[in-house]
Structure 1
C-alpha cells in the first residue's frame, strides 16, 4: 500500500500547483538531459518532450513507447529510462514520453466563499464518508483521456514511417486512460499494449477498465503488481476472467510480487521491478512471434 499512500500525497501537492505543473514537468525533463538528448514534438498547443533510445541491433523489432508520469502510481522517468535501456538491448527502438496527468482545478467561487464562510470547510470535512477516496476528488478522467489522445496522435505521427511493431507501455491511471483512449479512437491501436496494474479511482470508471481490457482489439499483456492499491486489486481477477469469457485470443496476466518495486533516484540502477517488467515484455513479444 506504500505506493498508494505516496500517490495520495503527490496528488494533494499537485492540485496546489495544477496551473504550473505542466510547464514545470516539461522544463524538468529538458533539464534532466544534455542538450540534444530531448526531442520536442507539438501535441496540440503544447511542446511534448520525448527521449529516444536507439536499439542495440542492426535490425530493430520496432518502436516501444513508454508513457511515464511523476506520480508513484505510474512509471517514473527514472524507471522509464531503465526500462528503455533493457528493451533497447533486446532490439527495440524506445521513446520515453512523459505525460502530465490533468487534475481538477479548484473553482474560483470556492476560494471566494471561504472568506465569507470560515466554518464551511470544517462542516464539509465532517460530512466526508470515512471510506471516501480523495483521489477521485482530484483526478479528471475525461481531461486525462483527451490529453492522452492528443499526445498519442503526436507520437503516432512521429513514428508512422518507422518499420516494425508498435509497443506501448503504461501503468496505473495512465494505463486505464490509454485503454479508454484507444477504444474511442481506433487509429491509435498499437500492435500490443503492456498494462501494468491499470486502475482509476472512481468505481464506475474502474469497472469499465475490466470491460475495455476484455474487448480491446489488440494483444494485451496485463502485469499485475500484488497489493498495488485497492482499486487495481478489486479488478485483478475480474480482468482475467472477463478476457477469458470474451475469448480474447492474445491476453496474458502475470503477477509481479509487490516487494519487487521500490523507488530509486538514480536512473542507471535497474530495480527488480523494472527487470521483471522488461523480461515479461520480451517474453510476451516472443510469444506473439516477433
Structure 2
C-alpha cells in the first residue's frame, strides 16, 4: 500500500515538473516572439521616419519666368495695328526707322490743305482727346489730317546729375538726339503732305510742340503755314526759357493754346512764352486760354472754333 502511494507521488511530481518545464519553454518562446515583433516595429517606425509618406512631402513650386516689359513705343504701334483698319495706317520711314501715321483724307468739296497732328511723347496717335476730335472733324471741313505716332521721351531726361553743369550737358544731348528723330519724321511727313493740295498746318501737343517750334525757328525744318501749340511745356526751367526765346524770334504764325485747369508746368511755360513774345513784338502770335472742366481735357468745340477763327484772321 505504501509502495503504491510512493509510486503515485513520484509520478505526480514528474508530471508536475514536466508540465512546468513545458510552460516555461512556451513562455520563453512567446517572450522571444514578442521581442522580435517589437524590434521589427521599431525598425519599421524608424524607416518610416526616414522616408516620409506622400502627405508629409514638401511641394516646391517652380518660380514662374518673369519677362521684361515690352517696349512702350512698340506696344503703342501694335495697339494701333490691332484696333485700326489696315487702310487707315500708313507706315513711313525716318532714316532707317519706320513709324506709323494715320491719314484721314479730305471729304469736303473744297480742299484747304493738310493738318499734321503730333501728340506729346509717351502718347499714342489716338490717345489725345483734342487730336482725336480734330481727326474726326477736320476732313469734313476740307482738311486732310496726318496723325503721327510720336517717339518716346528720351531716356534719363531730365537728368538726375548732382551738378548743374552736368545736368545741362546731359539734357542738351538728349534733346538734340530727340530733335534729330523729329526732323527725320517730320521731313518724311511733309513729303507725304505734298501729295495733297493747299497749305500745311502743324498742331502739336506738350513738349513736342516746343521742340518742333525750335526746329522751325532754327531753319532745320521747312516752316509750316501755321503752328498750333497745345499745352506746350518743357521739364526744366532752363529749357523752358531757352525755347520761349527761340519761339518769340520766329517768323511763322503761332497759336498758343492752354487750359484753365492744367498741370503746373504748362501754365508756367505759357506765361513765359507770352512774356517773351511781347518783348520781341512777335507779330503773328496769339495766346488763348480755353476753359475746361477736367484737367488736361480740351473742350472740343472750343478748340476747333479757336483754330478756325485764328486761321481766318491770318488769311487762311
TM category (shorter chain) comes to: 0.7 to 0.9
- The answer for the alignment partner of 2:107 in structure 1 is 56
> Any conservation in 1 of the 2:123–2:150 contact (CA below 8 Å)?
no
CA-to-partner distance for each residue in 1:2-50, whole Å, 9 max, x for gaps? xxxxxxxxxxxxxx95x82232222222222112111111112122211
- The answer for the alignment partner of 1:286 in structure 2 is 312
Counterpart-to-counterpart distance in 2, 1:28 and 1:72: 12
CA-to-partner distance for each residue in 1:40-88, whole Å, 9 max, x for gaps? 1111212221111122322211000111247469983554232211222
> Any conservation in 2 of the 1:52–1:95 contact (CA below 8 Å)?
yes
- The answer for the alignment partner of 2:218 in structure 1 is 184
Q: Which runs of 5+ in 1 are unaligned?
A: 1-15, 107-123, 128-135, 264-271
Rate the CA distance shift 1:199–1:75 in 2: closer, same or farther, 3 A. Answer: farther
Rate the CA distance shift 1:70–1:178 in 2: closer, same or farther, 3 A. Answer: closer
- The answer for the alignment partner of 1:28 in structure 2 is 79
> Any conservation in 2 of the 1:74–1:172 contact (CA below 8 Å)?
no
Residue 249 (1) aligns with residue 275 (2): no
TM-score, structure 1 as length reference: 0.73
Select which of 141, 153, 157 maps to 1:90.
141
Select which of 231, 234, 257 maps to 1:223.
257
Q: Which runs of 5+ in 2 are unaligned?
A: 1-67, 163-169
User: Which fold has the larger relative contact order, with Cα–Cα distance below 8 Å and residues 6 or more apart in sequence?
Assistant: 1
Select which of 192, 209, 213 maps to 1:175.
209
Rate the CA distance shift 1:209–1:73 in 2: closer, same or farther, 3 A. Answer: farther
Q: CA deviation at 1:260?
A: 5.1
Residue 276 (1) aligns with residue 302 (2): yes
Larger radius of gyration: 2
Residue 193 (1) aligns with residue 227 (2): yes
Counterpart-to-counterpart distance in 2, 1:231 and 1:101: 19
* RMSD across aligned positions (CA): 3.2
Q: CA deviation at 1:221?
A: 0.2
- The answer for the alignment partner of 1:267 in structure 2 is none
Counterpart-to-counterpart distance in 2, 1:208 and 1:43: 27
Counterpart-to-counterpart distance in 2, 1:261 and 1:74: 20
Counterpart-to-counterpart distance in 2, 1:73 and 1:258: 22
> Any conservation in 1 of the 2:121–2:207 contact (CA below 8 Å)?
no
Counterpart-to-counterpart distance in 2, 1:277 and 1:88: 16
TM-score, structure 2 as length reference: 0.67
SS in 2 for 1:188: coil
Counterpart-to-counterpart distance in 1, 2:250 and 2:154: 26
